Structure 1
Amino acid sequence: MKKIHHAVAAAALAALLPVAAQAEGHYVPGVEGIQAASAPPPGMYYLGYLVNYDINSFRAPGSSDNLPGHNRGTVTALANRFVWMTGTKLLGADYGMEAIVPVMRTSLTINAAGVSDSRSGLGDIYVGPLVLGWHGAQWDAVAAAGIWLDNASTSHPASAGKGFKSTMLTGGATYYFDTAKTVSASGLMRFERNGKNDAGFRHGNQISLEWGVAKNFGTVQAGVVGYSQWQVSDDSGVGASRDRSSRHAIGAELVYPILSAGVFLKGALYKEVRAEAGTGAYPKGTLARFTLVKAF
């Protein structure tokens, strides 16, 4: 009987892994940091986020303890973000729209669930018809809304898709401590309401908070950054529990502008200092991010 229970638990865990390899929601924290809540002026922009998430352990469902055995993973993604700030005013803000098209490579080795899989492919696409950016003498603020689609594959544990749609709402602010704007603090919060997958399972809603405190050193910016992510409602459906996941990370970021080319280069490294699993297995690791911002 004990062997049967272990087999059922492993099967249930494996079924949850495709959506747990990079937390439960679509949004990956750590892609924004310094001045995260400052929208650009009117124009067309491309932002390429190259992210490598090195998973060094998986938390067991409902705890902050690691799964037994050798369990590792790597998620490498290039998120292609396109932003158009139209020049139109709405509610006193600059109005814009955006889209995110991620391409991903995921490798998972999770002996606790009998999983060893690597896949590459197009991830779920984000469409954001509403971006609002306000600008004051020593502050910026942003609000946005959009939908994560469920276009990507979910056929294997390392597939890029989540298998459900999500609505995402964004809000945040940046404050500059001097009129020259050489010292700043920023916070950006995103709320995701997750939909049901084909099996009728729905992950609880999720809040992500990214923050950064920075100082200019000539044209270069450097600062301390971090993120936290919390599940704020219970999962529902077959196999759901009342356990909720969370994670917290801290790191550093460097920003280097190439003004003659209209380009900003950003690099950041984060270490997750705490992670707790909800219904399914939950990753904990380090995240490295390189961002290219190009204004057209």
Structure 2
Amino acid sequence: MNSSAKFLAASLLALAGAAHATEGGGSTYANGSENFMAGAGAPPGVYGLIYANHYSADRMNDSRGNSMGIPGFKVQATAIVPRLVWVPGVKVLGGDLATHALLPLVNLKVSAMGASQSKSGVGDMTIGVGIGYTHSPQFHSAVALDLTLPTGGYNKNDMANIGRNYASIEPLYLLNYVDPKGFNGDLRIGYLFNQRNKDTDYTSGQEFHFDYAAGWGLGNGWTLGVGGYYRQQTRLDRQAGVSLADSKTSGMAIGPSLKYDGGKGWFMTAKWQFERNVKNGTQGNALWIKAVFPL
């Protein structure tokens, strides 16, 4: 099967998740989901986070970044993602230990070539552990390891799948610089090691990616700037042990981003990002909202 035919088949049978989603072009991580304060440290305690996302795309691109022109193609996904973070007050390697877990709740609709399918339910769970460092009141960093588990519903014959049916391991490095009256910047850098989908004997290639945010604090709780993501698959997909030519996914997104800090331990961020230069994946836009509050 040539790469274009392979990708079209994958795109119609394996669309999934809260973001652009094919087995050959998607990701277990929702690229662009993080924003300002992604790498910020926190004092000991338990914290609740809520991510809200709406993603829409009517374009599927091939390996050269050109639209495949699939008649009636459209993906719409809305997700609410609760996340729990625990900082127990334990020092490890000079930093503060933290653990977290998140579980997406997703509504997904996929249409193509006169057919459509909708699904709602629980997506793939992510759990992780990290160590945070406070270098100054403004500068923070963290190292972490996340594990995404195939807890979401999946059927290889369906157009719409909320789960991906494979696990991923992701080492992370995060940076945060915060100044209420100056520059603010964040990076969440990750590398995905994807496991095999046993139902299709398909292994998505390893992927380097990062979310970013950069802006300026106005001194009244508001920070205004831009944010988005960059992703680059570093290894080819494999099926039945055979590497698939032209199967690497890449792309980026950028858009306006803002943060409001209530000054009492809680804050909110919002971002509207537009995807560009996507290869082997859907290209659309997404609204992301994040709220963080101590419990």
Q: Same fold (TM over 0.5)?
A: yes
Q: Does structure 1 conserve the Cα–Cα contact (< 8 Å) formed by 2:125 and 2:148?
A: yes
Residues of 1 paired with 2:172 and 2:244: CA distance? 27
> CA, structure 1 residues 11+36, in 2 after alignment: closer, same or farther (shift >3 Å)?
closer
TM-aligned CA deviation for residue 157 of structure 1: 2.1
TM normalised by structure 1 equals: 0.87
Q: Residue 116 of structure 2 corresponds to which residue in structure 1? A: 116
| Unpaired segments ≥5 residues, structure 2 | none
The number of equivalent residue pairs is 280
Q: Residue 278 of structure 2 corresponds to which residue in structure 1? A: 275
Q: Residue 63 of structure 1 corresponds to which residue in structure 2? A: 64
TM normalised by structure 2 equals: 0.87
Match status 1:249 vs 2:247: no
Residues of 1 paired with 2:76 and 2:201: CA distance? 28
Q: Residue 37 of structure 1 corresponds to which residue in structure 2? A: 39
| 4+ aligned runs moved over 6 Å, structure 1 | 6-9
Residues of 1 paired with 2:285 and 2:176: CA distance? 26
TM-aligned CA deviation for residue 11 of structure 1: 4.5
> CA, structure 1 residues 11+188, in 2 after alignment: closer, same or farther (shift >3 Å)?
closer
Q: Residue 126 of structure 2 corresponds to which residue in structure 1? A: 126
Letter in 2 for 1:148: T
Q: Does structure 1 conserve the Cα–Cα contact (< 8 Å) formed by 2:35 and 2:269?
A: no
RMSD value, Cα = 2.3
Q: Residue 152 of structure 2 corresponds to which residue in structure 1? A: 152
Residues of 2 paired with 1:76 and 1:105: CA distance? 5
Residues of 2 paired with 1:7 and 1:133: CA distance? 45
Q: Does structure 1 conserve the Cα–Cα contact (< 8 Å) formed by 2:21 and 2:27?
A: no
TM-aligned CA deviation for residue 242 of structure 1: 2.7
Residues of 1 paired with 2:11 and 2:188: CA distance? 32
Q: Does structure 2 conserve the Cα–Cα contact (< 8 Å) formed by 1:34 and 1:223?
A: no
Q: Does structure 2 conserve the Cα–Cα contact (< 8 Å) formed by 1:224 and 1:252?
A: yes
Residues of 1 paired with 2:8 and 2:38: CA distance? 39
- Identity over aligned pairs, percent: 24
Residues of 2 paired with 1:75 and 1:276: CA distance? 20
Q: Does structure 1 conserve the Cα–Cα contact (< 8 Å) formed by 2:260 and 2:267?
A: yes
Q: Residue 104 of structure 1 corresponds to which residue in structure 2? A: 106
TM-aligned CA deviation for residue 51 of structure 1: 0.5
> Which of residues 261, 264, 267 is equivalent to 2:267?
264
Residues of 1 paired with 2:109 and 2:10: CA distance? 20
Match status 1:194 vs 2:194: yes
Match status 1:140 vs 2:140: yes
Tell me, what secondary structure is at the counterpart of 1:259? coil
Residues of 1 paired with 2:96 and 2:169: CA distance? 22
Larger % of helix: which?
Answer: 1
Q: Does structure 2 conserve the Cα–Cα contact (< 8 Å) formed by 1:121 and 1:159?
A: no
